[in-house]
Each structure stands twice: as C-alpha cells, then as structure tokens.
Amino acid sequence: MFLMLMAIAWLPIAGLLLLTIPNANTANIVAMVVLFFGFLGWVNLWGQRVHHTSRSFQRYGLVWNGRGIQVTLLGLAIGIVSLSLLVVVESWLGWLTLDFSVLPGGVVASGLLVGLGVGFAEELFFRGWLLDELQRDYSAAKCLWVNSIIFAVLHFLKPLSEVIRTAPAFPGLVLLGITLVWVKWVSSAWDPRSPNGYLGFPVGLHAVLVWTSYMLYVGNVVKMRDAVPTWITGIDNNPLAGLMGFSFLAVLAWFIRGRSHPPKRLPQSAP
C-alpha cells in the first residue's frame, strides 16, 4: 500500500519532468532527487498516520550522534579493507594491474559523495523502511531473506538481454543484501538507545562498494588482464558477479553473522 500510494503521487511528477526537461539524463537525475525527498516526506507521514509515531527515522536506525558517525566510519573502513584485500590478492595472482596515475583527485572525492548518497538512499529504503515493515509481522529469518531477495530483484530491473548476461551477479546481490541486514543487526546490541541498530553501519559498507565501482568506471584504475574467465573475476569488473568477489563477501558475511543479534520482534516506538 505504501509503495502504491507513493507511485500514484510520483508518476505524474516524473512524467512532467521528462516532458519539460529536454536532456534525458538531467531529467532522470532531477526525477530521482524529487523521488528521494518525496520518499522522506512520505515515510514521515506514513509513520504518523499508520504507526502513530513521529520518530520513524530514529526507529529505522538513522541516529545522528557520535556513535552513529562512528559506525558509519566503521562500515566504510570494513568495506575498504575487504575490497583492498580482494584487489591485492587478484593483483598478486596476476589477474589485474593498478594504475593510480590516471585517477584525477576530483574522482576520489566525487566518488565518495556519490557512494554516500546512493548508500544512504538505498539503505534508508531497504534496511530502513522495508526491513522495519517486515520485522513488525515476520520472524527474523523471513525478514532477512525477503529483504535480501527484493533488494537483488530491484537491482535487476533492466532489459532481458542484460538480465541474462549479468545473471551471475544475482546470487552476489542476494548475499550482499543478507550481509547488510546482518551488519545492521550487529549494531543493535551496541547501544540500548538504538535497539533497532544503526543504519549508518550498512550505509558505510554500501557506500564503499558504490565508491569503488565509480572509480573503476570513471577513474579506470583497475585493468583486468583477461588471464582468467570473467566468471572468476566478475562480469563488467563487478566483483559480485565473479567467484572471487562472491567468496570474499561470503567470508565477510560469515564473520558478521557470528556477531549479529536479530530482534525477535521490534518494540513499537512511542508517539
């Protein structure tokens, strides 16, 4: 119901933007920005009218205090270390070369901003609103799998030919969704003031993945040598679409799972 009502409100606005802005890329960017801010307002209204709370964002784990900033930085650090290890191993095996001389300084900063923006928006939706809605009615296991599969499916909304070509990335996306849920649940035991976990933790980890992808495509830092098939290193240089990247993510997921504390049933927020 939430998504249906939001779509009804947003589609006319998106159509108007596409008709009035001649440049398609600019129109898409503006439409996404409008959608995001519309989502923020709609979430707040949904919490007030449906769940009778004015603290929806706090319930989702969006807490702007010292600990919230710390866990976001921790997520960034874990992501950087994990991806660095993957690149070092593949470089040592002779599967890729690194050339930082071609990387403009502005790409690093802009990539980080893009990563944080995308990570924040997607985590607020998937590990924020959607996970909270699921946890109100279902067990932790069902929430974990439903949330992760929806996350993967929505990232596969593209032409059928591309879906088939990049199909090896789907299990990696599901595993990434599972990992990000576990990451949030890990932080739920750190602070009794935020029993639902800190959203900043998965935001940081997610941001690094987007940041790295941005630098790969825009900065062209990593060059694959075609020494092994792409199903090992990843289709389109996407680690999630390759055996090596999937294996590294599986190890990280296993490590995080042992420290995760899924809630049996989240308490209702006070109005």
Averaged in consecutive runs of 10 residues, what is the pLDDT profile of the chain (271 residues)?
Answer: 58 62 64 76 82 84 84 93 90 85 74 89 93 90 95 91 91 96 87 79 93 76 82 85 92 91 58 42
Neighbouring residues of 50: CB distance < 8 A, sequence distance ≥ 6: none
Q: Is 103 exposed, middle or buried (0-12, 13-18, 19+ CB in 10 A)?
A: middle
Task: Report yes or no: 111 and 119 within 8 Å, Cβ to Cβ.
Answer: no
Neighbouring residues of 209: CB distance < 8 A, sequence distance ≥ 6: 79, 83, 115, 119, 176
What pLDDT is recorded for position 213?
80
Q: What is the DSSP letter of 270?
A: P
| Interaxial angle between packed helices 140-154 and 169-187, expressed in degrees from 0 to 180 and rounded to the nearest 10 | 140
User: Locate tokens 């504390």: which residue?
Assistant: 261
What pLDDT is recorded for position 267?
47
Query: 98 pairs with which residues across the strands?
Result: 222
Q: What is the DSSP letter of 222?
A: E
Neighbours of 129 (CB within 10 A): 21
What pLDDT is recorded for position 269?
46
Residue ranges of E strands in the chain: 96-98, 222-224
Distances in whole angstroms, Cα of residue 139 to Cα of each of 134, 144, 265: 8, 9, 8
* Terminal Cα-to-Cα distance of the chain (whole angstroms): 22
The span from the CA of 178 to the CA of 257, in Å, is 9
What pLDDT is recorded for position 271?
42
What pLDDT is recorded for position 216?
72
Strand-strand pairing, 222-224 and 96-98 = antiparallel
What pLDDT is recorded for position 270?
42
What pLDDT is recorded for position 27?
59
Q: Is 243 exposed, middle or buried (0-12, 13-18, 19+ CB in 10 A)?
A: middle
